[in-house]
Structure 1
Amino acid sequence: KTHTVEFAMGGWGTNEHLGTPWNPWDLAVPRTPGGSSSGTGVAAASGMAPWGIGTDTGGSVRLPASWCNLSGLKTTIGRVSTYGILPLAPSLDTPGPMARSVEDAALLYGAMPGADPRDPRTLSAPPQPDVMPSLRRGVKGLRLARMPAGERDGCTPEVLAAYDAAVDALGRLGAEIVDLALPCRFADATRAVGRIIASEAYQLVGKLVDDPNLPIDPAVRPRIQPGARITAPDYLAALAERDAMKRTFLAAFEEVDALLTPTTQTPPIPIDTIDQSTTPAFFTRFVNLLELCALSVPDGFTATGLPLSLHIICRPYDETTALRIGWAYQQATDWHERHPSGL
């Protein structure tokens, strides 16, 4: 077992009481490792383990993968059983692998899916195709969409430069790069996910976060407590909004095989500069809201050697296509082969 954010409620990866895992890509300045599965990301990146498993409610596999230079897969709800996992928001939680390469992540993922009567959602999931043979099919003939220009705001120049170079590389490998008009903004999805997470999390751990005598992480408590103010009609309205957004998005998504974005808007920032009232999950939360799957893969470094990441988003239950695209990209690049120095 590894460190995580308390209740898995946070994308920065910090833990006030048990300590924040040190991002191995900067041994001089403590930087965010990404969360909530921070310990898994740091352990795999620093060579303590070949791979690991995290849970992803709004980006908790992909964010540490991004900031620790790993490949991390967010699976579709129902693809992998959540039995035995401490829930945060059951309608959004899903487990997934992190590893130093897409191939390693695919090996681990291939052992994870399957029907489990203890998680009824797995019983209705379509069969998982054989993962490893599909990796090597390449990307020729696939239609990959760029993110809309309006969603580039907020990204650092180095994030955008790495992203644009990654998209161009996939085009050179034979994919058709297209533009896609999205029916909703990422920011709208981020807010909608926040309401659902707060509501469901409060129902599970509200009594704990409301107890002033318990040493709850001061960054986590205010993320969960707003759930007390979300009424049943408010929650049902949020679920209805989710269903409507999912229908319109999937209709638009029929034109492409994947949508490409950066995983994060910034490289890993110093821990002492984090604004805990914000979330780094701008590009990741909507994947959970719409019940899609997505893969985070390394796509470069900043001038100071901090990792950057590409986010490959696919339709529900199409993890094999996300892995196929990521594997093809890693055959043409070596970002994932670089490891932290001094370890």
Structure 2
Amino acid sequence: MPESPWWLVMQGLVNDAHDILLCVGKNEEVAEQQWEEIKAAMVIDRACACDGKVVWREILRPTPAVRRALMTTADIHMFQHATEIDLLIYGWAADTGIMSGATLLVQDDLNLSDKQIQIFGGIFNACAVIGSLTAGRISDLIGRRYTIIIGAVIFLVGSVLMGLDINFALLLFDRCIAGVGVGVRLMIAPVYSAEISSTSSRGLLISLLEIYTSLGILIGYLANFGFGRLPLFYNWRVMLGIAAIASIALATCIARMPKSPRWLVIQGSVNDARDILLCVSNSEEEVEQQLEEIKAAMVIDRACTGDGIGVWREILRPTPAVRRALMTTADIHVFQHATRIGLFVLFTGH
């Protein structure tokens, strides 16, 4: 692997650094631009290298431009991890990991039959479908951030009420409320994560969502041992209600996040979308390319939002590219559910 061009310039090996930039840059113009940025940054670095006070002054007392860059960058990274934590919460407390132990305790405390426990476990997914079906239209109207916050608040209400329930009917109703909230979040969080990410890191971030879900399931299993030692009246109520704390933290983080660039373009705020893309993209060329892709997709979306015929035509008579995506997605879900993994995860305790 070649040496870092930055380090080579610092060592005075200017020609070697220039040659490497020409090899890795898209063209000579991009290489020259990076070359000028390195030389300009070197002046700042050498001025700050004496005692470090200048560096901390830039961070603790930033100029308006530096403050905007720091806040935007921090917010974006916080959000990207917040969506992963959201899926961790889902795997842990919402439906899978901790429910495998909670169902046993609920059955003992409320004297429920096996059939009632099966309804209690399955109604969550049924209500999540309702949330997911409504989330897309809501996010187009009010934005991705506020839609995720709405989902977090709904799940918060459902979690708190489940922790306070005294009979099966109320518990079933409140679990349905929590399911609607999770359905909204599960639908929009991956979309928002993809829209706020650069093309180079998008696949990694989307994959991390699945990893965090599995990690949440594992943590839920481990938590069963700790909460199961509490008195019967409190243990399952704590298991189901404690997720409310995580929902509050999630809603607070999401409120600070930048808006989706795609949603901003749809609303006509192209300049705001460009500013956010500049913070997450690798180059200005990538920003302009993403903006053009968003604008091109908008033409298709607006043509399909009249009566829904265009959307169904894309599904029933897909182009080769859409057909490959549909078949891949359908195959993954068919094989995933054919293994009955959800049944094993949810009712392992039984």
**TM-score, normalised with respect to structure 1:** 0.26
